[in-house]
Amino acid sequence: MNTPKTDAKAAPAAKKDDSKKLTDQLAKEVSERAGKLVPKINAAFTKARTEAVKQAKAELEKKAKKEAKGGKPDAKELAKKKSELEKRIPSFSAAISDTIESSGLRTADEQAYYAIKGWSSTCSSAHMRRAAIHVPVTAVRAGKSKVIPHKKTNLLTYFPSKYSHADHLDEKKEVWAIMSYADFAKAWADAVKGAKLANWGGKKPDLAPDDPWHVELPRKAVKGGADKADVVKKTRPGRSDKEVNACVENYAEYIALTDELPKGKKLKRNAEIEKNYKSLFDKKFKAAKAKVDAERKKAKEQAEKAAKAEAKEKDKKADPKAVKAKTDEATKKLNDDLEKRAKKLVNKMNPDPSRFKLEK
């Protein structure tokens, strides 16, 4: 006869079900709110492009009259130039991303991957609760379509600090803009606020240039946007949760493996992660580094022992240069092994090898 499950044994399964139920609810909620963000920002894009076309054509007409020197510009030629000008002026549209990175549940390993790559400053992301989603913007100009990448440096190509509708008159320049960065930032913040969402910090609707397309459920009331009734709890794991612990541990292990590799093979350390989780990182890094240091010590000792043994067989005293050559060779061999292990570790964390290249 099968023994019935006790309450104690059933508890972990119930907890797991509760966790899935929570993430499913958060995913549904953030998706619904993002669905309200999209038409708001797209309406702003349409309005901005309509104005850009209108003003650019007015500038073109003004230029044509000036070139005619008191006469009238050729109507057909002007109409043709206006038509060509309008085709050159880009259009913009936002849409909810359908990638796993955007809407899927991010594991602790995957979050560590973002930390290692320097793409995230946290091991407690709203993506780890499916409370965040990405709403990337695509620009289309003269038949070319481009999804605008993250980072302000890329944003400035499409939303420059200084913008003039007259910029489109230069046929030789590829102008990918219909509004200034300041105007776009305001339009984006208004749309995010109207959808009762927040940027990656979970507390403000403002455009976050380091991660612009990330929006998430608000963790704090936002004036003019999300009030207390719209604030969602448990949108990300707590600092003491096992996922956060595992993320920091993976990052610390990778740092320990690469810490003393030759220049060019070292990882650029994520200062924000190390600062935000200082005590936990220090603890995990110290433990991981101790293991690597022990390997280095052992490799050196074995190399020295081997060099002395070879000299003894020849009834000679071990030459310091020969000993150094042996230890250098052992260090190089260990470095190669540590590098391979580091790459194997980070490849294991890679959330989507079809999009993010595996390290070789």
Query: What is the per-residue pLDDT across 159-209, written as a single tens digit (0 to 9) for each?
Result: 999 999 999 999 889 999 999 999 999 999 999 999 999 999 999 999 999
Collapsed DSSP state (helix, strand, coil) of residue 107:
coil
pLDDT of 308 over the 90 cut = no
Distance of CA 65 to the CA centre of its chain: 49
What do you get for the CA distance between the two ends of the chain, in Å?
A: 53
Cβ atoms of 37 and 197 within 8 Å: the answer is: yes
Where in 195-273 does DSSP place strands (E)? 214-216
Identity of residue 243: E
DSSP code of residue 137: E
pLDDT at 18: 65
Which pTM was predicted?
A: 0.84
Residues with Cβ within 8 Å of 355's Cβ and at least 6 positions away in sequence, in order, are 99, 101
Rounded-to-integer distance, Cα 80 and Cα 10, Å: 74
Query: What is the per-residue pLDDT across 85-108, written as a single tens digit (0 to 9) for each?
Result: 999 999 999 999 988 878 889 999
Identity of residue 29: E
Rounded-to-integer distance, Cα 96 and Cα 91, Å: 17
Query: Hey, what's the torsion of the CAs at 22, 24, 26, 28, to 10 degrees?
Result: -150
What sign for the dihedral angle of Cα 330, 333, 339, 340?
A: negative
